Structure 1
Amino acid sequence: MMKTNIILLCLVSALLLSYAPIAMPLTCDTSQLSSCIGPILSGSEPSRTCCDSIKREKPCFCQYQNDPTLGGYINSANGQKLIANCKVSLPSC
Protein backbone atom coordinates (compact mmCIF):
# COMPACT_ATOMS: atom_id res chain seq x y z
CA MET A 1 0.00 0.00 0.00
CA MET A 2 2.83 2.43 0.92
CA LYS A 3 4.63 1.70 -2.36
CA THR A 4 1.42 2.44 -4.30
CA ASN A 5 1.00 5.79 -2.51
CA ILE A 6 4.58 6.80 -3.34
CA ILE A 7 4.14 5.88 -7.00
CA LEU A 8 0.84 7.78 -7.13
CA LEU A 9 2.46 10.82 -5.49
CA CYS A 10 5.29 10.75 -8.04
CA LEU A 11 2.84 10.53 -10.94
CA VAL A 12 0.72 13.40 -9.63
CA SER A 13 3.85 15.52 -9.04
CA ALA A 14 5.11 14.84 -12.55
CA LEU A 15 1.71 15.72 -13.99
CA LEU A 16 1.54 19.00 -12.06
CA LEU A 17 5.07 19.98 -13.03
CA SER A 18 4.34 19.35 -16.69
CA TYR A 19 1.59 21.97 -16.52
CA ALA A 20 3.66 24.61 -14.71
CA PRO A 21 3.12 28.07 -16.22
CA ILE A 22 5.80 29.27 -18.59
CA ALA A 23 7.32 32.65 -17.75
CA MET A 24 6.44 35.33 -20.25
CA PRO A 25 9.29 37.36 -21.69
CA LEU A 26 9.83 40.77 -20.12
CA THR A 27 8.48 43.57 -22.28
CA CYS A 28 9.71 47.01 -21.32
CA ASP A 29 7.86 50.02 -22.70
CA THR A 30 9.17 53.47 -21.79
CA SER A 31 6.00 55.06 -23.16
CA GLN A 32 4.30 53.68 -20.03
CA LEU A 33 6.29 56.25 -18.06
CA SER A 34 5.00 59.29 -19.98
CA SER A 35 2.92 60.37 -16.97
CA CYS A 36 6.21 60.73 -15.04
CA ILE A 37 7.90 63.24 -17.36
CA GLY A 38 6.87 66.25 -15.26
CA PRO A 39 8.18 64.88 -11.95
CA ILE A 40 11.42 63.68 -13.59
CA LEU A 41 12.11 67.02 -15.24
CA SER A 42 10.86 69.40 -12.54
CA GLY A 43 10.90 67.38 -9.33
CA SER A 44 7.17 67.91 -8.86
CA GLU A 45 4.99 65.50 -6.90
CA PRO A 46 4.15 62.37 -8.96
CA SER A 47 0.56 61.44 -9.72
CA ARG A 48 -0.93 58.11 -8.78
CA THR A 49 -0.87 57.18 -12.48
CA CYS A 50 2.86 57.89 -12.58
CA CYS A 51 3.55 55.80 -9.46
CA ASP A 52 1.44 52.93 -10.79
CA SER A 53 3.48 53.06 -14.01
CA ILE A 54 6.76 53.10 -12.06
CA LYS A 55 5.64 50.04 -10.10
CA ARG A 56 4.64 48.18 -13.28
CA GLU A 57 7.91 49.03 -15.01
CA LYS A 58 10.12 48.20 -12.00
CA PRO A 59 11.32 44.92 -13.58
CA CYS A 60 12.71 47.04 -16.43
CA PHE A 61 14.74 49.44 -14.27
CA CYS A 62 18.05 47.63 -14.83
CA GLN A 63 17.51 47.84 -18.57
CA TYR A 64 16.57 51.52 -18.28
CA GLN A 65 19.51 52.34 -15.99
CA ASN A 66 21.96 50.76 -18.43
CA ASP A 67 20.52 52.64 -21.40
CA PRO A 68 22.75 55.68 -22.14
CA THR A 69 19.69 57.83 -22.90
CA LEU A 70 17.46 56.81 -19.99
CA GLY A 71 19.98 56.06 -17.26
CA GLY A 72 20.66 59.73 -16.59
CA TYR A 73 17.00 60.39 -15.86
CA ILE A 74 16.62 57.46 -13.48
CA ASN A 75 19.85 58.28 -11.67
CA SER A 76 19.17 62.04 -11.50
CA ALA A 77 18.14 63.72 -8.26
CA ASN A 78 14.58 64.14 -9.57
CA GLY A 79 14.48 60.52 -10.72
CA GLN A 80 15.58 59.35 -7.28
CA LYS A 81 13.02 61.68 -5.66
CA LEU A 82 10.28 60.30 -7.92
CA ILE A 83 11.16 56.70 -7.07
CA ALA A 84 11.22 57.51 -3.34
CA ASN A 85 7.89 59.38 -3.51
CA CYS A 86 6.32 56.37 -5.26
CA LYS A 87 7.79 54.11 -2.56
CA VAL A 88 9.61 51.93 -5.06
CA SER A 89 13.08 50.58 -4.47
CA LEU A 90 15.57 50.29 -7.29
CA PRO A 91 16.82 46.78 -7.93
CA SER A 92 20.53 46.16 -7.73
CA CYS A 93 21.69 45.60 -11.28
Structure 2
Amino acid sequence: MKKGIATAALFVMVVMAAAVVQDAAAVECNPMKLFPCLGAISSGRDPSAECCTKLKEQQPCFCEYIRNPQLKPYVDSPNAKKVAAVCGIKPPTC
Protein backbone atom coordinates (compact mmCIF):
# COMPACT_ATOMS: atom_id res chain seq x y z
CA MET A 1 0.00 0.00 0.00
CA LYS A 2 2.80 2.42 0.91
CA LYS A 3 4.57 1.60 -2.35
CA GLY A 4 1.45 2.56 -4.32
CA ILE A 5 1.17 5.89 -2.49
CA ALA A 6 4.84 6.63 -3.06
CA THR A 7 4.47 5.81 -6.76
CA ALA A 8 1.41 8.03 -7.06
CA ALA A 9 3.19 10.88 -5.27
CA LEU A 10 6.20 10.51 -7.56
CA PHE A 11 3.91 10.56 -10.60
CA VAL A 12 2.20 13.74 -9.39
CA MET A 13 5.59 15.42 -8.82
CA VAL A 14 6.79 14.47 -12.32
CA VAL A 15 3.58 15.81 -13.89
CA MET A 16 3.87 19.06 -11.93
CA ALA A 17 7.52 19.50 -12.93
CA ALA A 18 6.62 18.94 -16.57
CA ALA A 19 3.87 21.56 -16.31
CA VAL A 20 6.33 24.10 -14.90
CA VAL A 21 8.79 23.45 -17.74
CA GLN A 22 5.97 23.70 -20.28
CA ASP A 23 4.81 27.03 -18.80
CA ALA A 24 8.33 28.47 -19.08
CA ALA A 25 8.53 27.39 -22.70
CA ALA A 26 5.07 28.79 -23.42
CA VAL A 27 6.07 32.44 -22.92
CA GLU A 28 5.03 34.42 -25.97
CA CYS A 29 7.84 36.83 -26.74
CA ASN A 30 5.96 39.94 -27.72
CA PRO A 31 7.50 43.32 -26.91
CA MET A 32 4.04 44.92 -27.19
CA LYS A 33 3.18 43.17 -23.92
CA LEU A 34 5.61 45.60 -22.29
CA PHE A 35 3.46 48.60 -23.24
CA PRO A 36 2.59 49.26 -19.56
CA CYS A 37 6.31 50.04 -19.06
CA LEU A 38 6.59 52.57 -21.86
CA GLY A 39 5.97 55.61 -19.66
CA ALA A 40 8.48 54.52 -17.03
CA ILE A 41 11.14 53.65 -19.61
CA SER A 42 10.70 56.87 -21.58
CA SER A 43 10.55 59.17 -18.55
CA GLY A 44 12.63 57.36 -15.95
CA ARG A 45 9.81 57.41 -13.38
CA ASP A 46 9.04 54.40 -11.20
CA PRO A 47 7.19 51.56 -12.93
CA SER A 48 3.66 50.49 -12.10
CA ALA A 49 2.88 47.10 -10.58
CA GLU A 50 1.45 46.06 -13.96
CA CYS A 51 4.74 47.00 -15.64
CA CYS A 52 6.71 44.86 -13.19
CA THR A 53 4.35 41.93 -13.74
CA LYS A 54 4.75 42.19 -17.52
CA LEU A 55 8.54 42.49 -17.23
CA LYS A 56 8.66 39.33 -15.13
CA GLU A 57 6.47 37.50 -17.66
CA GLN A 58 8.65 38.61 -20.57
CA GLN A 59 11.99 38.06 -18.79
CA PRO A 60 12.80 34.87 -20.76
CA CYS A 61 12.59 37.02 -23.92
CA PHE A 62 15.06 39.76 -22.93
CA CYS A 63 18.03 38.28 -24.82
CA GLU A 64 15.91 38.01 -27.95
CA TYR A 65 14.91 41.66 -27.55
CA ILE A 66 18.51 42.78 -26.99
CA ARG A 67 19.60 40.99 -30.17
CA ASN A 68 16.96 42.86 -32.17
CA PRO A 69 18.55 46.10 -33.47
CA GLN A 70 15.19 47.89 -33.37
CA LEU A 71 14.50 46.98 -29.75
CA LYS A 72 18.01 47.07 -28.29
CA PRO A 73 18.06 50.87 -27.68
CA TYR A 74 14.94 50.56 -25.53
CA VAL A 75 15.86 47.37 -23.69
CA ASP A 76 19.45 48.44 -23.09
CA SER A 77 18.71 52.05 -22.09
CA PRO A 78 19.58 53.43 -18.63
CA ASN A 79 15.88 54.00 -17.90
CA ALA A 80 15.00 50.42 -18.85
CA LYS A 81 17.74 49.16 -16.55
CA LYS A 82 16.38 51.38 -13.75
CA VAL A 83 12.84 50.08 -14.28
CA ALA A 84 14.09 46.48 -14.21
CA ALA A 85 16.03 47.15 -11.01
CA VAL A 86 13.00 48.73 -9.31
CA CYS A 87 10.99 45.63 -10.31
CA GLY A 88 13.67 43.35 -8.87
CA ILE A 89 14.75 41.92 -12.22
CA LYS A 90 18.43 41.22 -12.81
CA PRO A 91 19.97 42.14 -16.17
CA PRO A 92 20.04 39.19 -18.58
CA THR A 93 23.26 37.38 -19.35
CA CYS A 94 23.09 36.67 -23.05
TMscore range, shorter length? 0.7 to 0.9
2:30 is matched with which residue? 29
CA distance in 2, matches of 1:66, 1:52: 22
Q: Give the alignment's Cα RMSD to 1 decimal.
A: 2.4
Task: Report 1:28-67 matches (<5 A).
Answer: 28-67=29-68
Q: Provide TM-score, normalisation by structure 2.
A: 0.72
Tell me how far apart the structure 2 counterparts of residues 27 and 48 of structure 1 sit (CA, whole Å). Answer: 20
Paired letter, 1:29? N
Which ranges in structure 1 are unaligned for 5 or more consecutive residues? 1-11
Change (3 A) 1:55 1:26: closer
Q: More helix per residue: 1 or 2?
A: 2
Q: Distance in 2 between matches of 1:34 and 1:26?
A: 16
- Superposition deviation, residue 63 in structure 1: 0.3
Q: How many residue pairs were aligned? A: 82
Deviation at 1:26, TM superposition (A): 4.3
2:92 paired with 1:91: yes
Give % identity. Answer: 35
Partner of 1:5: none
1:75 matched to 2:76: yes
SS in 2 for 1:92: coil
Contact 1:65 1:71 in 2 (8 A): yes
Partner Cα distance (2:83, 2:74) in 1: 10
Moved over 6 A (4+): none
Long gaps (5+) in structure 2: 1-6
